């Protein structure tokens, strides 16, 4: 739990320093000792957004549209202290590849 708290704290520090006010993903790597290292910020909704939605209960796509329409974070109820991650979630992507056809999609 401490690692999660530290990652969230650092992501918030970064976005607050940039005055960032919309959906985005702050990515970190975590080593075996639980230390985290900043990788990048993606200022858009990513395909993995459903994992965050499951853990936080926040509809990220809807929130992004509301913010783009002029709503403030407070107006749509996105107050950081009220966003409490619960549990864990995992997303899996299943692809089909045909090794006989040089790993091309089996649908081609």
Supply the CATH number for residue 70's domain.
3.30.470.20
Q: Is residue 44 annotated as a catalytic residue, yes or no? A: yes
Among 29, 27, 22, CA closest to 11: 27
Q: What is the CA radius of gyration of the chain?
A: 17
Domain residue limits at 70: 2-105
Catalytic one among 4, 44, 86, 93? 44
**Could you tell me the pTM of the whole model?**
0.71
Q: What percent of the chain has pLDDT over 70?
A: 91
User: Tell me, what's the pLDDT at 104?
Assistant: 66
What is the four-CA torsion angle of 81, 69, 10, 46, rounded to 10 degrees?
120
Residues 29, 35, 37, 43: is their CA dihedral positive or negative?
A: positive
Three-state DSSP at 36 gives strand
User: What is the average pLDDT score of the chain?
Assistant: 88
Question: Which of the pair, 34 or 22, is modelled with greater confidence?
Answer: 34
User: Tell me, what's the pLDDT at 100?
Assistant: 72
- Band (pLDDT 50/70/90 cuts) for residue 47 is confident
Structural domains of the chain, count: 1
């Amino acid at each position: 739990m401490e690692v999660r708290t530290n990652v969230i704290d650092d992501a918030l520090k970064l976005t607050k320093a940039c005055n960032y006010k919309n959906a985005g993903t702050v990515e970190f790597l975590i080593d075996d000792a639980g230390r985290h290292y900043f990788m990048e910020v993606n200022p858009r909704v990513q395909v993995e957004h459903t994992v965050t939605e499951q853990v936080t209960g926040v509809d990220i796509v809807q929130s992004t549209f509301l913010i783009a329409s002029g709503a403030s974070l407070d107006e749509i109820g996105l107050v950081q202290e009220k966003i409490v991650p619960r549990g864990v979630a995992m997303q899996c992507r299943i692809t089909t590849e045909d090794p006989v056809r040089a790993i091309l999609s089996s649908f081609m």
